[in-house]
Amino acid sequence: MNTRDAYKIRATRGSNSYKKAPIGMAQVSSKTNTKTEKLNSQDYSIGSKTPMDLNSVCESLPERSCRHPLTNMRQNAHLARCEESIKVRFDSITPVLKKLANLQHESDFVSKADSITSSELGFNFPIELLESAWVDGLNMKALYAKAVFNALNSSIAQFSDDLGRNVDLKVDANSFFLDCGYHSVDITPCSDGRLKGLAKYILRLPLSAITVRNSYAGALFNVESNVRDWEKIELDRLRNGKVLDDGNAYLKIVVYHRSGSDPSHQGCAAHGSNDKVSAEAGLEKLTEFREAIENTYCCGSAIDILLIGVDTDNDSIRVHVPDSAGNISVHRYVDTSELYNETLSMSIDQARVKLYNAIDICSDITGWGQGAGRPAEGMRKVVANLLEYNLSQIEYVADLYGGMYPDIGHAERYISVGNGFQEIQLRNIAYFAHLDTVEEGSADLDIGIKIFTGLNLNKGLPAPIAIHYRYDSKVPGSRKRMIEKCYRVKNAIINRYKQLAENNNLYFQISIQDLPLGSSLEIISEEA
């Protein structure tokens, strides 16, 4: 999928200004600041040979400038500006609230508070939350939740606008997948907040080109629900004159995660931070899904599967290469962290040849990872492109963070419950609990509450919970039913975590959206 030119054109149309991208909850080192400034100041032409200081990824190559030939620097600069503009909204909340705390007993507090929040947060708190400060003090929990939800809603608007500007990328990506033999792409990542930027940053895939995207704790998706998604897509294809045996297949991808620097503690919580267990669990779900489709619908129900592991320390990926029969082994993969260094000194053409050769070498291994030959050409092209695009993300992390994120653990800002805000694609913004009912999603919710106990509750801050579902405006009564469902879910969460709710440690925003990506966000209520 050659979207490099499209990204380049888009970045050229954007602002030439650039600021340092923040890193969330962690401290920014002077080294990181320097890297960020250099990212903006470099010549961003593809394959640029402009020298720069070495980053930590390239310390083993002291004679070379650290600029990978396949890195799209214009795209990286655009993504950095996007990251900064979103995270600064959340990172500004606590400092602003501390200022208000120091001013709350002054006679002109309300006017001062309005001035501060307007300039630093871009909105004003409801007057009723400010006027009573002289009596009982500021309700910091309510103010904090209000600020988080405002930052969330502003971010959705920004991402939706960006999505609307890049329809050409969707067309390009869809054409690529069709050329590879895939009419639909279904991705299930773990719901961990560190994978929230999977499509936009890690894999560099236009979100609108992904047919189905649902996150689950540990990537343990519901097989029956995924079968229904497949049925809906195939029915739609038939209604549009397509046939099941047209040579195109359905591609199902599962994404697990690991931590290279602290594998025993910063891996997937749902799998006890065990990389092998995470990969095996993802593969088991993929196999169950494929078998469910094949056993139920037999002929013409082509399903291809792909397993990807993400090192959340640096966003490098392991792509578990299928064999000629489409089968996967957790012991057979290509790792971009290795390929990055191996191809750093090569030309563009040499590097791309290296990526394809790496796939072949991986396919030919013996031992535990041995398979039945090399993958089909379409799958080979998909894997090669995923590898290439991820190299840009490795360099992105190297430029901005010295090769590894400072916040290698959880640093989410809110808990997203329901269908999720699919437009928002950014690392560690949200922990996502995908559920239709609280009973079905209890495991995901419990993990989210556990995470926010450490992030917020133990520090006296509440857990902001954004309940969000999408409705289908084409279906009569869908909007009303989704609103009713939101309130049922909210009440069920309160009942499950009664003590937290009674202590005003849970704050909720209820919102809905029409099905199409980029639809207007409709706020139904925001309350404790």
Q: Annotate 8-69 with three-state secondary structure.
A: HHHHHHCCCCCCCCCCCCCCCCHHHHHHHHHHHHCCCCCCCCCCCCCCHHHCCCCCCCCCCC
- How far CA 34 is from CA of 37, 53, 108, in Å, comes to 5, 10, 41
CA dist 275 and 311 (Å) reads: 10
Cβ neighbours for 156, distance < 8 A, ≥ 6 positions apart: 421, 423, 424, 521
- Whether 230 and 214 have beta carbons less than 8 Å apart is answered as no
Catalytic residues, by residue number, are 192
CA dist 293 and 302 (Å) reads: 8
Q: Measured at the alpha carbon of residue 338, what is the angle toward residues 335 and 342, in degrees to the nearest 5? A: 135
- Whether 266 and 405 have beta carbons less than 8 Å apart is answered as no
CA dist 521 and 159 (Å) reads: 12
**Beta strands at 249-258 and 303-311: parallel, antiparallel or unpaired:** parallel
**Beta strands at 414-418 and 430-434: parallel, antiparallel or unpaired:** parallel
| 307, β-bridge pairs | 254, 320
Rg of the Cα trace of the chain? 23
Query: What sign results for the dihedral spanned by CA atoms 210, 216, 217, 223?
Result: negative
